[in-house]
Amino acid sequence: MAKPQATAKRDPEPRRDQVLRVAEALFARAGYRGVGLREIAAHVGIRAPSLFKHFRSKQALYNAVLLNIFARLNDVAARLEGEGSFVLRLERFIGGYIDLVANDPHVVPLLFRELIERFEAMEPATRRVALEIYRRIDVFLEAGQRAGDFRQVDRFRFQMALTGAILYHGLAARPYQAALFDRVGPPDRAAWKRTVLDLARGALLRLPANER
């Protein structure tokens, strides 16, 4: 009689990835100063000294969390360099950015804390990675302007406005919904994308001659 085949065991989540996932949630909730290594280790289910097998310090762990987010955002920014018109690529980028924010609720509070608290925990190498994403977007906008598809707007201020529209919605939509309509539900992602894209089009696209 043939023996039943053993079911392959699913590999557990790698410890380093587990630490990153837990740290992202805790840093998003309480900020860099509000979280200690003991708390992170306790949530992972290990002793604090074990964290040093993966990260040399709390600051190194924090920067690894930020780099993880920036890597995903950089993947979204790559949509600006694909095929299609400037408007189509902008639409793909905005859609991907909103999906990233909507799928990971920790992204927005982490980025807002970093912008507002300014405690300089972000290392220079991490900051350079973040700035490269903004430069990548700027190259796209400049190319659209040179091609005549985009108006000659201030590209830096446009990026700030676009980022603010996406991130602030991700931060404030639920509290506003609760205050204004006495209910809280999942965000209407399609409406969110349409609204941000309409704002971007209104700022960037040239009007036809008969509408100027």
The CATH number of residue 117's host domain is: 1.10.357.10
18-27, 99-108, 119-128: the lowest-pLDDT one: 119-128
Asked if residue 40 is part of any domain, the answer here is no
Asked if residue 14 is part of any domain, the answer here is no
Q: Sign (positive/negative) of CA torsion 136, 142, 147, 152?
A: positive
Mean pLDDT of the chain: 88
Asked if residue 11 is part of any domain, the answer here is no
Number of folded domains in the chain?
A: 1
Q: How far is CA 125 from CA 28, 64, 134, 200, in A?
A: 21, 11, 15, 30
Domain span at residue 146?
66-206
pLDDT beyond 50 at 139: yes
pLDDT beyond 60 at 94: yes
pLDDT beyond 60 at 11: no
Asked if residue 92 is part of any domain, the answer here is yes
pLDDT beyond 90 at 182: no
What pTM was estimated for this model as a whole?
Answer: 0.85
The three-state secondary structure class of 9 is coil
DSSP one-letter code for 150: B
pLDDT beyond 60 at 4: no
Asked if residue 9 is part of any domain, the answer here is no
Asked if residue 78 is part of any domain, the answer here is yes
Strand partners, 150: 205
Asked if residue 57 is part of any domain, the answer here is no
The DSSP annotation for 48-101 comes to GGGGGGT-SSHHHHHHHHHHHHHHHHHHHHGGGGSSS-HHHHHHHHHHHHHHHH
